[in-house]
């Protein structure tokens, strides 16, 4: 992973690729989370030993279902589905041309605005996390480099799923853990690997900011969170 999909932590892919290249290994990086939020240059990554990387259109405002696998020309792939000859012989089936075109436009727009957007989202992230700290939340991985749009936090003794449901009723779409594993009731494996105790990990909630968010919405979110957490703490005290 170039950037973790829960914590937003940016991994040192260059160092990892350098270590892998010394063994003769092929190296692929999932860059989906960072796409449109951080500058990505495959030529630089490739020079460091990254042979392939994956992008997904919807992370930069493009259509869902359109993605790209960017390859070093030296990498030879075997097709998963034989026949048809599409995708340079790698996959059969009719391509979703409309989604691919939309993905291309989204990529152009993302490249043009990534520097400005990153600065603006970083300011909103700081405002959000200042408010979270004021409410007594624990924000995970604050001490390392992260994506400018991702904040992952928990309140002691408050269940994450419960908090997500309450905030949803207030009009805020947040998630407990990773969206791609939301059906799993177990505490986040990412937080467990980081040494976070299960009692805290079960309370984890992720906020992802987008290009359309504003500082006023951050203030509204913190207010709704203050009220909601206060009510849940009151229920916890009674029980």
Q: Do residue 102 and residue 171 come from a single domain?
A: no
Average per-residue pLDDT for the chain: 91
In a domain, 168, yes or no: yes
Q: Do residue 27 and residue 65 come from a single domain?
A: yes
Residue 146 burial (CB count, 10 A): 21
- What range does the domain containing 94 cover? 13-108
Burial class (CB in 10 A: 0-12, 13-18, 19+), 195: exposed
Q: Do residue 57 and residue 172 come from a single domain?
A: no
Q: Which pair of tokens denotes residue 188?
A: 């986040």
In a domain, 1, yes or no: no
Which of 8, 54, 57 lies closest to 28, judged by CA?
54
Q: Do residue 104 and residue 119 come from a single domain?
A: no
Last residue of a domain, one of 93, 108, 123: 108
Which of 110, 28, 104 lies closest to 67, judged by CA?
104
In a domain, 8, yes or no: no
Given a cut of 60, is residue 239 above it in pLDDT? no
Q: Of 115, 180, 197, 235, which is the active-site residue?
A: 180
Last residue of a domain, one of 46, 77, 108: 108
In a domain, 7, yes or no: no
Is the distance from CB of 87 to CB of 93 less than 8 angstroms? Answer: no
In a domain, 4, yes or no: no
Q: Do residue 120 and residue 233 come from a single domain?
A: yes
The CATH number of whichever domain residue 21 belongs to comes to 3.40.640.10
Please indicate whether residue 109 is annotated as part of the active site.
Answer: no
Q: Do residue 99 and residue 122 come from a single domain?
A: no
Task: Give the helix ranges, DSSP H, for the chain.
Answer: 13-21, 42-48, 86-89, 97-134, 160-169, 189-193, 198-201, 215-238
Residue 185 burial (CB count, 10 A): 9
pTM: 0.87
pLDDT in tens, 136-192: 999 999 999 999 999 999 999 999 999 999 999 999 999 986 555 555 567 899 999
Interatomic CA distance for residues 222 and 226, integer angstroms: 6
In the chain, the number of structural domains is 2
Given a cut of 70, is residue 43 above it in pLDDT? yes
């Amino acid at each position: 992973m170039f950037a973790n999909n829960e914590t937003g932590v940016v991994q040192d892919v260059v160092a990892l690729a350098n270590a892998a290249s010394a063994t003769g290994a092929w190296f692929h990086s999932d860059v989906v989370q960072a796409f449109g939020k951080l500058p990505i240059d495959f030529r630089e990554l490739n020079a460091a030993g990254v042979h392939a990387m994956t992008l997904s259109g919807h992370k930069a405002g493009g259509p869902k279902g359109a993605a790209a696998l960017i390859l070093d020309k030296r990498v030879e792939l075997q097709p998963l589905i034989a026949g048809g000859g599409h995708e340079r012989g790698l996959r059969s089936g009719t391509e979703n041309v409309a989604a691919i075109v939309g993905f291309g436009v989204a990529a152009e727009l993302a490249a043009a605005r990534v520097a400005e957007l990153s600065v603006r989202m970083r300011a909103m992230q700081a405002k959000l996390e200042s408010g979270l700290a004021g409410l007594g939340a624990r924000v995970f991985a604050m001490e390392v480099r992260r994506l400018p749009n991702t904040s992952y936090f928990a309140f002691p003794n408050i269940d994450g799923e419960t908090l997500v449901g309450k905030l949803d009723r207030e009009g805020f779409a947040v998630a407990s853990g990773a969206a791609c594993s939301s059906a799993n009731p177990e505490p986040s494996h990412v937080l467990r690997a980081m040494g976070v105790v299960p009692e805290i990990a079960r309370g984890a909630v992720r906020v992802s900011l987008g290009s359309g968010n504003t500082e006023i919405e951050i203030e509204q979110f913190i207010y709704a969170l203050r009220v909601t957490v206060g009510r849940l703490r009151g229920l916890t005290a009674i029980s």
